């Protein structure tokens, strides 16, 4: 059973920075496809960034140039570095995972069908 535990949320002023972490356990990390999502009060959940089978990262337009996703396979941890934070970034941030599929050539495939979710960590940005 995959377990995801986020940490690093908090309150910052606009223009500030935060780094979120998501520690994964219960499954080989290299076999997981990871992503960050967020949900603001009264709004739908939105994707912040996703990692594909070749470890390429796609960011939402709203965070491009400000947020950076990285992974540390040795620590089974996903990171989200957030810079130049804006009040509209205020939300609960979640990491998500799915078990990768594999081709016969052992190429990793990520279907973006996340079925494992962390408990979320709150980020509040004040103006």
Question: Which pLDDT value is given to residue 12?
Answer: 98
Contact between residue 97 and residue 114 where contact means Cβ atoms under 8 Å apart: yes
What is the per-residue pLDDT for 117? 98
Per-residue confidence (pLDDT) for residue 48, from 0 to 100: 98
Per-residue pLDDT, 18: 98
CA angle, residues 29, 30, 36, in degrees to nearest 5:
65
Helix/strand/coil for 115: coil
* 67, two tokens: 């947020």
Taking the C-alpha atoms of residue 80 and residue 38, their distance in angstroms, rounded to an integer, is 12
Residue 22 pLDDT: 98
Q: Which strands sit side by side in the sheet containing 18-25, from one edge to the other? A: 3-7, 18-25, 77-82, 67-72
Q: For position 5, what pLDDT does the model report? A: 97
Torsion angle, alpha carbons of 21, 24, 28, 29, to 10 = -20
Tally of CB atoms within 10 A around 121: 22
Can you say how many angstroms the Cα of residue 92 is from the centroid of all Cα atoms in its chain?
11
Q: What is the pLDDT of residue 116?
A: 97
CA dihedral 64, 71, 97, 61 (to 10 degrees): 0
Give CA torsion, residues 46, 54, 64, 71, to 10 deg.
80
Instruction: Show the low-confidence residues of the chain (pLDDT under 70).
Output: none
């Amino acid at each position: 059973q995959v377990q995801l535990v986020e940490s690093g949320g908090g309150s910052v002023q606009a223009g500030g920075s935060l780094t979120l972490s998501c520690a994964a356990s219960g499954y080989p990390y290299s076999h997981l496809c990871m992503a960050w999502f967020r949900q603001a009060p009264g709004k739908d959940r939105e994707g912040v960034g996703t990692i594909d089978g070749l470890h390429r990262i796609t960011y939402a337009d709203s965070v491009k140039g400000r947020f950076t996703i990285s992974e540390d396979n040795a620590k089974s941890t996903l990171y989200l570095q957030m810079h130049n934070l804006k009040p509209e970034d205020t939300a609960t941030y979640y990491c998500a995972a799915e078990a990768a599929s594999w081709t016969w050539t052992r190429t990793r495939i990520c279907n973006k069908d996340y079925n494992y979710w962390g408990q979320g960590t709150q980020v509040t940005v004040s103006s």
